[in-house]
Amino acid sequence: MAKKAHFFQYLLRTLLIIVLLSPVCIVLLGLQTSAKIEAVSPLGNQALNRVQNLILDRAPANPSLSSQQQVQLNNEELNLLLRYGMELLATSEPIGIELSVQEQLLESNISLKLSDKILPLYLNLTARFESTQHLPVLNSLRIGNLEIPQRLLLAVTEFLKKHYLSDSVYYQDVQALLENIEYIDFSSNQMEVLLHWDPNLISRISNNAQQMFISDADRQRIVRHYRVLTEVAASFPESKRAAALKDFLAPMFLAAITNSQGDPIAENRTLFQTLAIYVNNENIEQLLGTSLAQSLPQAKYIEVRVQRRQDLAKHIISIAAITASAGVDVAELLSTTKEAYDARYRMGFSFSDLTANIAGVSLARLATQDENSARIMQQRLSQLSDDSDYLPLMSNQADGLSEADFNTLYQDQSSPSYLAKVAEIRKLVSASVIFEGLQ
């Protein structure tokens, strides 16, 4: 009898240990000491040029109009665009990610480094999507060596949708975007997508995504900047229809010096964001949301120009806002892609626009680089007397180059002749008064 009682005690203890250790075992099964997919190095100039061509070949000729778009990508192209997207995200820790298209199947492998203090630890995820009724459906998920049962996967997915995602405006935007996809088919080494391009939906998603990354403290800074901007616009005579960019930069940065409160970087970042909305004649609710924006008086709109050109002012401030928010690398990638798009579909490649972009990137980079640089730029921009202090006079720049003309002159954006031209422009911009002694 005593032996039987001892046996049951031993069995209960064993079961208790198993129950207590189950979460630990699950974690250990999920974590691994090596990456399934190694993080790759940043794209070089030739790869970036190829990415731009992939985007241009598949982009709507006029993004402001509704259209039906058909996109075909093989495995190599898909992963190249994925690497480009990861560089735009600029994650603090490099992520290894790879997509593989097979017959009626898309496999995604992701490796995320968690720690390397004692030994390297990685989270390796493998997700498989099947093409069901011409749309991808997640049918399996593996975390390290742990295969998630399909029933559990479906239950968790439905729970998240019902309790956390259904009321989210961001989830609703994603759902609306998915509804515009007519089909996604996977064949051997190729993915084909047919979708309806809705510019209004894309604009709404962009605005909502922008608001998601703006903190409450930054919203209050934007409110202050917008009030100063409103006062500046109101100070111009009613007959005045255009003003120089420096007429806004100087008083706004003068006010920023007073309002920085220990964080000049955040003050400068939100100033560029606010001014970009105004210069592009957009609504401040894109940054603040509807309710907060409606509590503010609307600023009188005056066309803002640099060297008598509205397009230069838009380029400078728009790219400055992107640089301040997302970083230099993202801004420069978008800048070169935009010029390539203009060369193919719009008024042609413009070195004037590129120069304005380089000046805008430099303004924002130095204004948000570190606290000392941010304060120096506040002082200098608050005393700005002329826009030529940061942007060289546009004189002999080649503008309006078609894609064919550009390729005849420079071959592509990775050629030595083009890179030498860009280096020459950078040197010219960096010699401007406002950037003196700063790097």
- How many Å apart are CA 297 and CA 284, to the nearest integer? 11
The owner of tokens 């680089």 is: 369
Residues with Cβ within 8 Å of 187's Cβ and at least 6 positions away in sequence, in order, are 101, 103, 104
pLDDT value of position 274: 95
188-210 b/e (C-beta count within 10 Å ≥ 16 → b): eeebebebebbeebbebbebbee
- Structural domain boundaries of the chain? 45-201, 214-435
Say if strands 242-244 and 190-197 run parallel, antiparallel, or are unpaired. Answer: unpaired
H helix or E strand, kind and range, residue 125: strand 121-132
- How many Å apart are CA 388 and CA 432, to the nearest integer? 8
Say if strands 181-187 and 105-115 run parallel, antiparallel, or are unpaired. Answer: unpaired
pLDDT value of position 360: 95
Q: Which two tokens stand for residue 145?
A: 């060596």
Contact of 403 with 344, CB cutoff 8 Å: yes
Contact of 68 with 356, CB cutoff 8 Å: no
Say if strands 190-197 and 181-187 run parallel, antiparallel, or are unpaired. Answer: antiparallel
Q: φ and ψ at 341, to 5 degrees? A: -65, -45
Q: φ and ψ at 183, to 5 degrees? A: -160, 155
Q: φ and ψ at 118, to 5 degrees? A: -95, -50
pLDDT value of position 22: 47
pLDDT value of position 90: 65
Give the number of C-alpha atoms closer than 13 A to the C-alpha of residue 262, restricted to the C-beta side. 1
Q: Which two tokens stand for residue 381?
A: 């921009």
Helix, strand or coil for residue 253?
helix
Give the number of C-alpha atoms closer than 13 A to the C-alpha of residue 432, restricted to the C-beta side. 26
Q: Which two tokens stand for residue 415?
A: 């050629």
Q: φ and ψ at 32, to 5 degrees? A: -135, 160
Tens of pLDDT along the chain (439 residues)? 555 555 556 655 655 554 454 454 555 556 777 888 888 777 787 888 888 888 888 888 888 889 998 999 999 999 998 888 887 776 667 788 899 998 888 999 989 888 777 778 888 889 999 887 777 888 888 888 888 888 877 887 787 777 667 777 777 887 888 888 888 888 888 999 898 888 888 887 777 777 777 889 999 999 999 999 999 999 999 899 999 999 999 999 999 998 867 799 999 999 999 999 999 999 999 899 888 999 999 999 999 999 999 999 999 999 999 899 888 877 887 787 777 777 777 778 888 889 999 999 999 999 999 999 999 999 999 999 999 999 998 765 667 788 888 888 888 888 888 889 889 999 999 999 999 988 7
Contact of 211 with 285, CB cutoff 8 Å: no
